[in-house]
Chain A
Amino acid sequence: MLKQLIAVISMSLQTVPQRLGASSVIVIGIAGVVAVLVSVLAMGAGFKHTLADSGRDDRVIILRGGSDAELNSNLTRTDIDTIGNAPGLAKDAAGKALLSSELVTVVNVPKLDTGTDANVTMRGVGLKVIEVRPEVKIVSGKMFRPAVRELIAGVGAAKLFRGLNVGSVLRLRNADWTVTGIFSSNGDVHESELLADVDTVGSSIERTGYSSAVGLLTSAAAFTAFKDSLTSDPQLKVDVVREREYYAKQSAGLTKTINIVGTTVAVIMAIGAMFGALNTMYSAVAARGLEIATLRAIGFGALPVLFGVMIESLLLALLGGVIGASLAWMFFNGHTVSTLGAAFAQVVFQLIVTDTLIITGIVWACIIGLLGGFFPALRAARLPVAEALRAG
């Protein structure tokens, strides 16, 4: 049985070059499906990755009670002072709490490729920002100074928006701002932002108060005590959220949409590719009718013939899957794009073709190949031997 199977498979594979045109239909059809599936899902994976990386378990974000996002939130200076005294916050050498009071607003910066204005987040941050967010590193230029209109731009923003180079001057909200540096932040969402001194941003947009406060805790376990002390304070109406949860929530909707759309399109394409595979394998079986009948006549079983056809289809599909996944990886892995995030501002992210996605693509390819090979294989196995020999 196994010997027969090997013989049948090697025979069918040897004849593939004679049916190159038809066989390429399976390969190319499935490569198309897998390339589209993997590329679209890579978009979802990249977006999720960017936002998931934006949080640490031992970092908290404090918003006005009921505010879903920083843009809707407002905290007063007194609120900030109260929050700074809450237990659980890490302290610097001088004993000051590691808390960054932040003011988030939106500015218009043209996109490099299209030149159209896009909403970019401008985040005013407290002096403690580098200690609160140790992952923020200046990659070129230097840090902004407080009290002057200077800002640093994230590497993601610098890549996609115009005029974000060290030393260049930007006109934002009727004021000239100098870009003093470019920073990286571990690939997270803040790389899409502009950072500047919080009070300078506040005076520039004529706003008092803050959007949020971001604090580093002594440990992830200190969260509950910290939260309880703030939420039980009758003077204060705030929501305390772990930073990781705050950003994970923002990615949930879009990631889900991308995955649904990508899968739907790929399923439709897969059905089309399956018809193509059926076509190819039926014509392969027809072309090799005489050969198959001869095999049956000299004692080969129906099962090896069935498996032979299915395995040919499967191997062609596998080749298509590998080509499709490779194309997606070559063209789109690390490709930088941006979209409108939950805060109505651009979030810059990179497409990531993960191992899981490549495997998913190849599994899809195999399923299409098996489905497309099954019915033709059945026909081959049931071929009436005498008739086929006579017709040949």
Chain B
Amino acid sequence: MKYFPLIWATLWRKKTRTLFTLLSVVIAFLLFGMLETVDYAFSHPSAGTTGADKLISTNKYSITLPLPFADLQEIRSVPGVTDATWLTWLGAYYQESKNFVFALPIDTESYFNVHKDEFIVSDEQMKNYRGTRSGALVNVALMKKFGWKVGEKLPVHSTIWTQKNGSLDWTFDIVGTFDVKDSTQANAQAYTVFFHYDLFDEGRSFGKGTVGWIEERIDNPANAAAIAGKIDALFANSPNETKTQPANDFAMTFIKQIGDIGFVLRAILGAVFFTLLFLTGNTMMQSVRERIPELAVLKTLGFTDGKVLALVIAESLLLCLFAAVIGLGLSYATLPIIGQALQGVQLDPVALIPGLGAAVLLALIVGFPPAWRAMRLNIVDALSGLH
């Protein structure tokens, strides 16, 4: 540690060069942080405890194909299923197609029973909601985003469901707001608007008696696989086979189908780090080359070969880690923006930690050749300028 001032001073020997190298490395790690957190979010379903006791049953072939409403009773009778609720995808937006709104028709009793203790709604607003046929409960954050107020009408446009009068516009009365208890689920629910399933089912011009998917609450998360198997067995070989999976895995089935996102991200990062190796490597080489007489002086003063090697490697480590911390810090600051751009994907900063490992690896690779050279330095040759 006592050598820190020495290392710091040699690092800034050529200020511009170190600054530009540092900035390049900062940029690389900013990118690393951004891409790595996205990759992590796509490969690790939200690990929140909220989802562990819930299953989702969809049509085996596609979420776009419906299930008969009658499946619900059969599913409820499966041992281990404490309750089940049914939902349908409205595919709605507010005013413009970029303003996606997750308007979700729910059966109030069973929905809030399956999703027990997940939402915070004041008793009074809940009472109003139950009492208002066209009522809607809106996420607080969404209310703020569009500047809606309780008591206003909320018109949304469905891209799928026509009403009996042929209109695709559905209008609700905002009677209350809800908040999400588990903050890790906040992004997942950021666009949610709850409204009554009855209103939806009676209003739609086709598809009555079908549901989009069914969500189950189970008594013991450890039995999730067995219960899912029992549910699917109920409908095997029927025209509407189901696929039941833990709620946390459900989102992954779509993400996996988008493509090999991980491959694309890793390929980009590979290109970034390959170029970075050359850049920092060149800086370190130059820096050591210029300091050969100084290094020789250090050796004359009694620094061992090993110590000189360590000094150069430490310099490389300092440069890379310092830059990596700044870069990863910057990418941490961008996480909320990226999360929002991805329609509310929860990005976990834990994915930034491997970045420090990458920085150490980078530092060792680029630091070693010049360090080796410094270690092998012959004092007499170096001082006489014969290197």
| A interface with B by C-beta (< 8 Å) | 21-22, 24-25, 28-29, 31-33, 35-36, 39-40, 65-68, 71-72, 74, 105-108, 116, 118-119, 173-174, 205-206, 237, 265, 268-269, 271-273, 275-276, 278-280, 282-283, 337-340, 343-346
Q: Is B239 an interface residue (CB 8 A)?
A: yes
Chain A nearest Cβ from B334, distance in angstroms? 10
Q: List 16 A-B contacts (CB under 8 A).
A: A28-B278, A31-B275, A32-B272, A65-B166, A116-B256, A265-B35, A269-B27, A272-B23, A275-B24, A279-B16, A282-B17, A340-B254, A340-B257, A344-B62, A344-B63, A344-B64
Set of chain B residues within 8 Å of A33, measured between Cβ atoms: 275
Set of chain A residues within 8 Å of B65, measured between Cβ atoms: 105-106
A270 vs B24: C-alpha distance when bound (angstroms) = 10
Contacts A22-B282, A272-B24 given; does A72 touch B64 at CB 8 Å = yes
Q: Is B364 an interface residue (CB 8 A)?
A: no
Q: Are B282 and A21 in contact (CB under 8 A)?
A: yes
Q: Are B31 and A268 in contact (CB under 8 A)?
A: yes
Set of chain A residues within 8 Å of B121, measured between Cβ atoms: none
Q: Are B17 and A279 in contact (CB under 8 A)?
A: yes
Q: Are B64 and A271 in contact (CB under 8 A)?
A: no
Chain B nearest Cβ from A62, distance in angstroms? 16
Chain B nearest Cβ from A378, distance in angstroms? 13
Q: Is B285 an interface residue (CB 8 A)?
A: yes
Q: Are A71 and B239 in contact (CB under 8 A)?
A: no
Q: Are B285 and A21 in contact (CB under 8 A)?
A: yes
Set of chain B residues within 8 Å of A106, measured between Cβ atoms: 61-62, 64-65
A74 vs B20: C-alpha distance when bound (angstroms) = 61
Q: Are B168 and A66 in contact (CB under 8 A)?
A: yes
Contact of A206 among B91, B239, B275 (CB under 8 A): B239
Chain A nearest Cβ from B339, distance in angstroms? 14
Chain B nearest Cβ from A380, distance in angstroms? 14
Chain B nearest Cβ from A111, distance in angstroms? 9
Q: Are A119 and B30 in contact (CB under 8 A)?
A: no
Chain B nearest Cβ from A348, distance in angstroms? 11
Q: Are B286 and A205 in contact (CB under 8 A)?
A: no
Instruction: Give how many B residues have a beta carbon under 8 Å from the other chain's beta carbons.
Output: 47
Set of chain A residues within 8 Å of B285, measured between Cβ atoms: 21
- CB-nearest residue of chain A to B38: A261
- CB-nearest residue of chain B to A327: B271
Q: Are B62 and A273 in contact (CB under 8 A)?
A: no
Q: Is B303 an interface residue (CB 8 A)?
A: no
A338 vs B260: C-alpha distance when bound (angstroms) = 9
Instruction: List the 6 shortest-distance A-B pairs measured between CB atoms, nearest first.
Output: A272-B27, A106-B62, A32-B275, A279-B20, A275-B24, A66-B162
Set of chain B residues within 8 Å of A119, measured between Cβ atoms: 61-62, 257
Set of chain A residues within 8 Å of B16, measured between Cβ atoms: 279, 282
Q: Are A345 and B168 in contact (CB under 8 A)?
A: no
- CB-nearest residue of chain A to B167: A66
Q: Are B237 and A174 in contact (CB under 8 A)?
A: yes
Set of chain B residues within 8 Å of A107, measured between Cβ atoms: 61
A205 vs B240: C-alpha distance when bound (angstroms) = 9
Q: Are A268 and B27 in contact (CB under 8 A)?
A: yes
A273 vs B279: C-alpha distance when bound (angstroms) = 9
Contacts A173-B61, A344-B62 given; does A269 touch B272 at CB 8 Å = yes
Q: Are B17 and A71 in contact (CB under 8 A)?
A: no
Chain A nearest Cβ from B150, distance in angstroms? 30
Q: Are B279 and A276 in contact (CB under 8 A)?
A: yes
A28 vs B16: C-alpha distance when bound (angstroms) = 21
